[in-house]
Amino acid sequence: MRHVFQSLFYILFTLSISWLSLPAKTVVEAFEEANQAYTRGDSILKKSNNPKEAENDFLTALRLYNICLEKAESPALHRNLGNTNFKLGKIGHSIYHFRQALQLSPSSEEIRANLQLARKTAKLPENKESLYEKTLEKKSPHVWKWVLAVTFWLGVAILILPKYFRIQGPVFSTLGILLLLLSMIPLWAILQSGKVRNLGIILEEDAPLLISPTPESAVANYLQPGQEVQLTLNSPSKTHIFANTATGDSGWLPKQLVGHIHP
Amino acid sequence: MIVKAAVGNRIYFLFRRYCYILLLFLCAIPAGLIQAQTAKSRVDPQIAAKGQRASYKVTLQGVGSPQPVGGSLPKVPGLNISGSASTSTQMQVINGSMRRFVTYSFPLVGEKLGTYTIPAWDMTFGNRIIKVPATTIKVVDTDDVFNGIFQLELHLDKSSYYVGERISGKLQLLVREGVEASLSGLPEKIGDAFVQKEFKENFWKIAPEVRDGIRYDMATARLTLTAIKSGRQSLQYKVPINVRVKNRQTRFRDPFFDDFFPGRNQYKTVTLETNEKSWEIKPLPSEGKPDRFTGAVGQFEASVSFSPSQVSAGEPVNLKLQITGFGNFDRIQAPKLESTEDHKVYPPKIEFSQNTTAPEGFGTKTFEYIIIPKHEDADTLMGVPFLFFEPKQGIYVDQTQRPGEMVVLAPPAGTQITHFNEPVVHTANSKAPQEEPQDARKLLPIETNPGKWHKPGERSIWTPAFISAQITSLALISGIFIVRRRQIQLDEDSQFRRQVQGTKEMRAWKQKTEKAFASRNVEDFLDSARRTLQISVSKELSSSEAEALTFDSIREHLESQNLEEDVIHNAQALFDAADLLKFGGADAAGLNLEDLNNSLNSVLKALK
């Protein structure tokens, strides 16, 4: 009996190692611990000027942030993941997370600044901001959808209802039409924000753009981390995704080398 | 001569080697002989069914070879112990010394139910007398033999606790000696009123246990729990074990061969559960509860220290809060220190160390904050709040710590404090770090506030709330539009107003008709039916009042609508019947109310 118990302990112990290592933390706890690990790493980096010494802390932070990301996401989480990856030299992942953070919180100037810095570090060409990016992109599509709803329904109401309250004159009609026209602006903003639906970010260095979706395929070009590509999301391949680059190249990318920006 | 000498040397060395072995062997014999002669006794099985054959075993140690034994075997009423013993010997080498055990097995049968103690007795072994100790056997009914073979018990240290208080307990698994069983999984808690700390490695501790004379192998697992719900709360555990059972299918007719070729043993999984017990869980008192209390429960002592005591503005100071004591350290949250105009505070590094010399639950938790004074006047560090609930006395204790003052100097020349997301930013004149990329310095710091969480990938802007708001807006505007349009139409269109009012009146008269029909009141029915028909027609005519309409006017209208002759006939039948009853003195009993009702319905249907 005792021997049986003892042998069972060893088995249970071995099994429990894997169980104990499972993340049992809440998202908030993991986020908090990751922040602490990052701050420690940053502090060590500043004191010693040696990235190697801080690497363990940054890796701990990255692991904990990724635990959070499995369960939930927030602009702060993506921003911190961007920072951590940047500190670890993973520029592609860093740009990807900053881009995700910006998608969630377009008004954040800090995220925008970090994204620009990461893009600069990756030696990517400076983005020429479109009119939309300069103006309406600063607000989230969630804001614009409510602006659209309010202006549209207000316009409809002002255009239709006054005559049923025996209010005559061109003021309300003009105002109604004006509001309906104004509602086109948030509608345009929403349509523009949907353009990132197919946006992908190259995560690793020298990601091969393949001619066919097989590992043995010839390489059409090599893409660099942080580079933006347009993805064909309904690609038939399970391992590869079809992508078009800004320079006109197109081909298949291994899925693990590209991060898809969710609209 | 040389050859002779060589052979002689070899013989000498061989002789010397074997002499050592012989010497060791000769030494071992007296060591065995001088062992203390002791006896042990036991009954196998310890719990036997009435009439079942058991063995009363007396094991002698240090007696040498088996010999006939003598002495007066105890007589126990209710037990039939036979004097004809079988003998077996066993040798064991323990720590280099050889031990021989001789076991005498006396057949025993329990004749009556009960717990029996076979008393101590003197056994003669050769010319020696050896004291045999007492032992116990329990004789039970055949059905009860396996009762209590496994027992799972849950013990907590107190009968009542506070919510959040650390609870020490133990789970005890007793397996009757001789039963082969093994654990097949972790203990599983039943009930959601308690949370349990994960088991440590090798959490089961095994020790022999004797209860009511019955020997058990007892495995004990220490539990650390926390109650999370107040009230009377139950707690149970279940533990799966594998039990070795013999395959019942025998391959031989004679049980002797089955014993000799025992066949395959099977392991069956049995899940044991503790009895349902409940404990009183008291809520933390709301009276006297400080606002800043964050849930720590136990007995703690807090202390605070900081270093260095002299810094330049912009340089970090380590502020350490140390909490020592007993309780639920998991529930002690980092005291919230906010950044002020004087100091920038970074999230603390948290460490916990268990006190290895004290019982479980004692330890020290440390919160180490990095605090940066923003200017040279920021010499007073903020207070560090720490409050806890002391369950023994049932009171809240405030141990807020005041770190005291430090010396803050002006920042050194060449150092410029820009913002406090980064502690100190070196200017171009100061020495820049060589290995860290320059770009990394420009990276804006992490966000410490996680913000609003949502599920990964769920970013659709068409949320249910938004769609609901659109439907509501549409309904509201449409509703206002419809209501107002109808109101205007009622105001402006007399024909429409007449129709609306007529419809209302017609419905009222129709209801009266139905009521009269139900009460079999022919007179009321015909009167109401006539009015219903009059109103139905008059609401379509702009010039006539309903009451003034004669059947001729109604016929004219019905014909203008190109209705069938049957419909006009039915309408006439109703008018005629009404006139006959009212003015002709006809007998109501002579009229068929069902037919009249059908006529009315067919006319109204046709008019619709």
Asked if B205 has any chain A CB less than 8 Å from its own CB, the reply is no
Question: Which chain A residues have a beta carbon less than 8 Å from that of B180?
Answer: 1, 4
H or E stretch including B236? strand B231-246
H runs (alpha helix) in B211-254: none
Q: C-alpha distances in angstroms, A5 versus A17, A85, B202, B579?
A: 18, 46, 10, 106
Task: Give the dihedral sign, CA B592/B594/B598/B604.
Answer: positive
pLDDT digits (tens, 9 = 90+) for B215-230: 888 999 988 888 888 8
Strands B265-273 and B231-246: antiparallel
> Would you say B454 and A74 are in contact if contact means Cβ atoms under 8 Å apart?
yes
> Would you say B145 and B173 are in contact if contact means Cβ atoms under 8 Å apart?
no
Q: C-alpha distances in angstroms, A235 versus A213, A231, A255, A262, B458?
A: 10, 9, 11, 17, 21
> Would you say B240 and B185 are in contact if contact means Cβ atoms under 8 Å apart?
yes
* Bridge partners, residue B222, by sequence: B170
Q: Number of A to B CB contacts under 8 A, please give it.
A: 154
The pLDDT of residue A15 is 47
Is the N-terminal amide bond of B45 cis, ω within 30° of 0?
yes
ipTM of the complex model:
0.77
DSSP state of B373: E
DSSP state of A197: G
Substitution target in B315, B443, B471 with the highest count of A β-carbons within 10 Å is: B443
Tokens of A20: 């104990």
What is the identity of the amino acid at A118?
A: A
What's the number of CA atoms in the CB half-sphere (13 Å) around residue A125?
6
pTM for the full model?
Answer: 0.41
Report phi then psi at A246, rounded to 5.
Answer: -65, -25
Return the higher-pLDDT residue of B92 and B391: B391
Alpha-carbon span B37 to B59, nearest angstrom: 10
> Would you say B473 and A93 are in contact if contact means Cβ atoms under 8 Å apart?
no
Q: Give the pLDDT mean for B555-562.
A: 84
Substitution target in A52, A73, A115, A116 with the highest count of B β-carbons within 10 Å is: A73
Q: What is the largest CA-CA distance in chain A?
A: 98
Substitution target in B461, B480, B482 with the highest count of A β-carbons within 10 Å is: B461
Alpha-carbon span B295 to B227, nearest angstrom: 12
Asked if B565 has any chain A CB less than 8 Å from its own CB, the reply is no
Q: What is the band of B97 on the pLDDT scale with cuts at 50, 70, 90?
A: confident
Asked if B454 has any chain A CB less than 8 Å from its own CB, the reply is yes
Alpha-carbon span A38 to A34, nearest angstrom: 6
In chain A, which ranges are E strands?
A: 199-202, 207-210, 219-223, 228-232, 240-245, 250-254, 258-260
Alpha-carbon span A132 to A137, nearest angstrom: 6
Q: How far is B347 from chain A (nearest CA, A)?
A: 6
Alpha-carbon span B240 to B182, nearest angstrom: 9
The pLDDT of residue B353 is 86
pLDDT digits (tens, 9 = 90+) for B106-157: 999 988 888 888 999 888 887 788 889 988 888 888 877 777 888 899 999 8
Report phi then psi at B449, rounded to 5.
Answer: -90, 120
* Bridge partners, residue B160, by sequence: B280
The pLDDT of residue B98 is 72
CA angle A48, A50, A51 (to 5 degrees): 130
B513: closest CA among B592, B596, B453? Answer: B596
Share of chain B above pLDDT 70, in %: 84
Q: What is the band of B3 on the pLDDT scale with cuts at 50, 70, 90?
A: very low
How many Cβ atoms are within 10 Å of B172's Cβ, its own excluded?
A: 16
DSSP assignment of B417-433: ---TTSS-EE-TTSPPP
Q: Give the pLDDT mean for B533-562.
A: 80
B450: closest chain A residue by CA: A76
Alpha-carbon span B307 to A27, nearest angstrom: 32
Q: How far is A209 from chain B (nearest CA, A)?
A: 26
> Would you say B218 and B174 are in contact if contact means Cβ atoms under 8 Å apart?
yes
State CA B243 to chain mean position distance: 27
Three-state secondary structure along B77-144?
CCEEECCCCEEEEEEEEECCEEEEEEEEEEEEEECCCEEEEECCEEEEECCEEEEECCEEEEEECHHH
User: Distance between terminal CA atoms of chain A?
Assistant: 61
B55: closest CA among B105, B14, B101, B18? Answer: B105
Q: Which stretch of A250-259, B265-274, B335-344, B535-544 has the lowest confidence by average pLDDT?
A: B535-544
The pLDDT of residue B420 is 45
> Would you say B380 and B405 are in contact if contact means Cβ atoms under 8 Å apart?
yes
Q: What is the band of B556 on the pLDDT scale with cuts at 50, 70, 90?
A: confident
H or E stretch including B529? helix B522-538
- What does pLDDT average to over chain B? 80
DSSP state of B192: S
The pLDDT of residue A115 is 92
Residues in chain A: 263
Alpha-carbon span A15 to A187, nearest angstrom: 55
DSSP state of B401: B
Task: Judge: A16–B316 Cβ closer than 8 Å, yes or no.
Answer: no
The pLDDT of residue A259 is 93
The minimal CB distance from B448 to the residues A35, A49, A157 is found for A35
pLDDT digits (tens, 9 = 90+) for B403-445: 888 888 877 655 444 444 443 333 333 333 333 445 566 788 8
pLDDT in tens, chain A (263 residues): 555 556 555 555 544 444 444 445 688 889 999 999 999 998 888 877 777 888 999 999 999 999 999 999 999 999 999 999 999 999 999 999 999 998 888 888 889 899 999 998 888 887 777 777 777 877 888 888 899 999 999 999 999 889 888 888 889 899 999 999 999 999 988 888 777 778 899 999 888 888 888 888 888 888 889 999 999 888 788 899 999 998 888 899 999 999 998 76
At what angle are helices B565-583 and B522-538 packed, to 10 degrees?
Answer: 130
A54: closest chain B residue by CA: B436
> Would you say B274 and B154 are in contact if contact means Cβ atoms under 8 Å apart?
yes
B466: closest CA among A74, A140, A179? Answer: A140
What's the number of CA atoms in the CB half-sphere (13 Å) around residue B496?
9
How many Cβ atoms are within 10 Å of A205's Cβ, its own excluded?
A: 14
Is the N-terminal amide bond of B308 cis, ω within 30° of 0?
yes
The pLDDT of residue B311 is 83
Tokens of B507: 């419905």
pLDDT digits (tens, 9 = 90+) for B17-74: 554 555 544 444 444 444 567 888 888 888 888 888 888 988 888 777 777 778 888 8
The pLDDT of residue B28 is 43
Asked if B335 has any chain A CB less than 8 Å from its own CB, the reply is no
